Structure 1
């Protein structure tokens, strides 16, 4: 279970190809679609960072303002939106602030 960063930090997605490559390269991926102006996103951020550090999931951060086209293609209409992928396939999508225990449980179920 290799991480693309040694310290379990979330990875900032640069474009659609980068996102697709990361989803393809890792068994379990959590994609966090967020915006800097989004209060609930800021509330969720420490939880997402803990998921990156403490679980097998690779956590990807997608700034919907920076990557508007990507967000539109993925049908992201509100933030925060969290998508879980297992072996390249989308397994779950959650909208809004989530409980850490719930997120950890999803990751463990995908492992």
Structure 2
């Protein structure tokens, strides 16, 4: 497993995000904002998810590209979005979740 797939990637805008989503089969997107305590708390969780699942994990601050807020209807952070083969297949916007819950989200949502 390459180091790239075991660490969350950071992207700054919709174009970068689209590039990652289209070039990987399974992508977990962590939408966060700076200064958000729950977002900081979930960062090591998504790092763990990157290590133990097949998902490519990407972190993006939708405040840096407001088009993402509207495109993905982001109403709170952290919001986790799961993409499979370029399609949005799941959303978790329940505040902080532990590693086990996020791994189940990633593995339970993807198609068999």
Give the TM bin, normalised by the shorter chain: 0.7 to 0.9
2:81 to 68, 83, 93: 83
Out of 89, 92, 109, which is 2:90 matched to?
92
Aligned-residue offset at 1:105: 1.7
TM-score calculated relative to the size of structure 2: 0.85
Q: Which residue of 2 aligns with 1:25?
A: 23
Secondary structure of 1:5's aligned partner? helix
TM-score, with structure 1 as normaliser? 0.86
* Aligned-residue offset at 1:77: 1.4
Unaligned runs of 5+ in 2: none
Partner of 1:104: 103
**Consecutive unaligned residues in structure 1, runs of 5 or more:** none
1:44 aligned residue: 42
Report the Cα offset of residue 68 of structure 1. 2.4
Following TM superposition, by how much is the alpha carbon of 1:37 offset from its aligned partner in structure 2, in angstroms?
Answer: 1.0
Q: Secondary structure at the match of 2:7?
A: coil
Matched residues, number = 109
CA-atom RMSD, angstroms?
1.9
**Larger helix proportion, structure 1 or 2?**
2
SS across alignment from 1:83: strand
Alpha-carbon distance in structure 2 between the residues aligned to 1:70 and 1:16: 6
